[in-house]
């Protein structure tokens, strides 16, 4: 049975230049007793950035109603060298 991939966690790992497994190992060491702390902090920061860019995707300030755009936002990254947007497929990770 193939393990289901959370595309938002995959985006978190990719944003840190790691595979999902490497990111989890890193966070288990950095946050003993709370290995998802790094992801929770990162996703909160990304949510604030998404709110600034896409306020219509929210109901108030707390509920994201456009989940598809939210996931796409997380999967799209600005490359450091060119500034262009690049979307990566989770199958690559």
- Residue 78's DSSP bridge partners are 85
Rounded Cα distance between 86 and 55, Å, is 22
pTM above 0.85, yes or no: no
The continuous run of DSSP H or E covering 51 comes out as: helix 37-53
Confidence of residue 56 (pLDDT cuts 50, 70, 90): very high
> How far, in Å, are 40, 58, 75 from residue 64 at the CA level?
16, 4, 16
Domain map (residue ranges) of the chain: 7-78
Confidence of residue 5 (pLDDT cuts 50, 70, 90): confident
Q: What is the pLDDT of residue 80?
A: 30
Q: What is the pLDDT of residue 82?
A: 32
Q: What is the pLDDT of residue 77?
A: 65
- Residue 63's DSSP bridge partners are 59
Which whole number is the average pLDDT over 48-65?
A: 94
């Amino acid at each position: 049975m193939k393990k289901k991939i959370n595309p938002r966690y995959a985006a978190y790992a990719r944003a840190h230049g790691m595979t999902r497994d490497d990111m989890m190992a890193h966070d288990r060491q950095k946050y003993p007793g709370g290995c998802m702390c790094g992801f929770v902090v990162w996703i909160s920061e990304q949510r604030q950035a998404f709110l600034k860019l896409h306020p219509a995707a929210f109901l108030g300030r707390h509920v994201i109603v456009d989940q598809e755009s939210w996931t796409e936002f997380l999967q799209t990254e600005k490359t450091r060298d060119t500034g262009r947007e690049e979307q990566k497929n989770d199958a690559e990770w």
